[in-house]
């Protein structure tokens, strides 16, 4: 097949890890006879430096004209003092919203080879866990009204959370469908004991659950979920939650797998175009040093093949290559755990994966 892929390398380690993923996608295309064309666009801090804006119109139009988008990471200390609406992070929210990507799939699974990098005890992790977090991505407090006003104690800042029936229903449907393709277990996470948006969320999820009698459905409060994830992660199959709770819980879930450098994500809307990115950030402390772990971005590339292009065999090939490199003992610095020796650089890890393909 032929595909146009927009590349948003972004800031910090973004360019290094995206380049790693692009070489893996190119090699995969070559093996299977596909034709992928990559076009870079600016986003985040580098876009601010070049154009004054974190999300130039050209970037939005370029992504809209592509079949799919691969993103590295945005942000860094250089732009931390920018006003809220001009920060690099604002570009990320802007592009998610402009492309209508309301679903964010964040798989968190324990690689047996990285067992020693997980901070959880053996008896908790057992034979491993495999969780799919379905995070709502274009609503909630991230996109609600915000600002400053006069309050009870003088000047105050405010952010608002709102969720419509439509927004909850569409993410709920994705979550139930995702569960149907997996272990048929879905846990919806909210704060319905306090928040009105959560009470509506819970009511709608309950309604949907009646259409999916095969799915074992439950709800959980977010504070309890934070605890349960480290107490017994094996109880979860698919989790569905709001934008903010999903942001927090997906970082927690990544940490118990051993490294945030391993976790990929897919952001999807109603069509096949998606945006694929590692869940970690721009790691300015190691940027430009060739130390970053490219695996999360490489696996995000595999998710693109599967979810946007329906190329399941190709995606499997990439995942197997990553598995075999890890099983052979190759590690970047972040996943060394207690292993001795010199960690691989970003480009060396990419090379190993290319060979394994």
- Residues in contact with ligand IPM by CB under 6 A are 89, 92, 247, 279
320 among known catalytic residues: no
Query: Closest approach of Cβ 306 to ligand IPM, in Å?
Result: 20
Residue 109 appears among annotated catalytic residues: no
Q: Least distance from C-beta 248 to Mg ion, angstroms?
A: 7
Helices (H), the chain: 14-32, 45-51, 57-64, 88-98, 122-125, 165-180, 196-209, 222-231, 243-256, 295-307, 312-327, 346-356
CB atoms within 10 A of CB 2: 9
Nearer to Mg ion, 9 or 135 (CB): 135
Among residues 67 and 247, whose Cβ is nearest to ligand IPM?
Answer: 247
11 is annotated as an active-site residue: no
Q: 27, 191, 291, 306: which one is catalytic? A: 191
Neighbour tally for 101: CB within 10 Å: 21
CB 309, min distance to ligand IPM, A: 23
Place of tokens 């067992």: 115
Smaller CB separation from Mg ion, 62 or 258: 258
Which of 53-61, 86-94, 97-105, 241-249 is the region at the interface with Mg ion (rule: CB under 5 A)?
A: 241-249
169 binds, options Mg ion, ligand IPM, none, Cβ within 5 to 8 A by partner type = none
Binding residues among 88-147 for Mg ion as defined by CB under 5 A: none
Backbone φ and ψ of 166, nearest 5°: -60, -45
Phi and psi at 214, nearest 5°, equal -75, -20
Residue found under tokens 């942001």: 247
Based on CB atoms, which residue is closest to ligand IPM, 43 or 315?
43
Contact 182, 175 (CB under 8 A): no
Query: Which residues are within 8 A (CB) of 56 and not within 5 positions of it... i.e. 6 or more apart?
Result: 41, 42, 47
Residues within the interface to Mg ion (CB under 5 A): 247
User: Which positions are annotated as active-site residues?
Assistant: 142, 191, 223, 247, 251
């Amino acid at each position: 097949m032929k595909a146009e892929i927009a590349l948003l390398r972004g800031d910090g380690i973004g360019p290094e890890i995206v380049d790693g993923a692009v070489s893996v996608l190119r090699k995969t295309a070559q093996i299977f006879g596909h034709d992928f064309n990559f076009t870079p666009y600016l986003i985040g801090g580098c876009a601010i430096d070049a154009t004054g804006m974190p999300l130039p119109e050209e970037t939005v139009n370029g992504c809209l004209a592509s079949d799919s988008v691969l993103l590295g990471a945005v942000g860094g200390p250089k732009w931390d003092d920018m006003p809220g609406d001009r920060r690099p992070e604002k570009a990320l929210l802007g592009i998610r919203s402009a492309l209508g990507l309301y679903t964010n799939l964040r798989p968190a699974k324990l690689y047996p080879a990285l067992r020693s990098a997980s901070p959880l005890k053996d008896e908790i992790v057992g034979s491993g866990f495999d969780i799919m977090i379905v995070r709502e991505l274009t609503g909630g407090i991230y996109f609600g009204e915000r600002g400053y006003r006069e309050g009870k104690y003088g000047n105050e800042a405010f952010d608002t959370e709102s969720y419509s029936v439509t927004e909850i229903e569409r993410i709920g449907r994705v979550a139930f469908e995702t569960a149907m393709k997996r272990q048929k277990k879905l846990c919806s996470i909210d704060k319905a004991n306090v928040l009105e948006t959560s009470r509506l969320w819970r009511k709608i999820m309950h309604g949907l659950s009646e259409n999916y009698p095969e799915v074992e459905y439950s709800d959980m409060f977010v504070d309890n979920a934070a605890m349960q994830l480290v107490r017994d992660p094996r109880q979860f199959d698919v989790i569905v939650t709001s934008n903010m709770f999903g942001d927090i819980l997906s970082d927690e879930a990544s940490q118990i797998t051993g490294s945030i450098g391993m976790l990929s994500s897919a952001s999807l809307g109603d069509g096949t175009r998606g945006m694929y990115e590692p869940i970690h950030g721009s790691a300015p402390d190691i940027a430009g040093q060739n130390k970053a772990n490219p695996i999360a971005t490489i696996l995000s590339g595999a998710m693109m093949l599967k979810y946007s292009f329906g190329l399941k065999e190709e995606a499997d090939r990439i995942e197997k290559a990553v598995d075999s490199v890890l099983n052979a003992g190759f590690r970047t610095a972040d996943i060394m755990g207690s292993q001795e020796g010199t960690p691989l650089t970003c480009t060396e890890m990419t090379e190993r994966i290319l060979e394994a393909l």
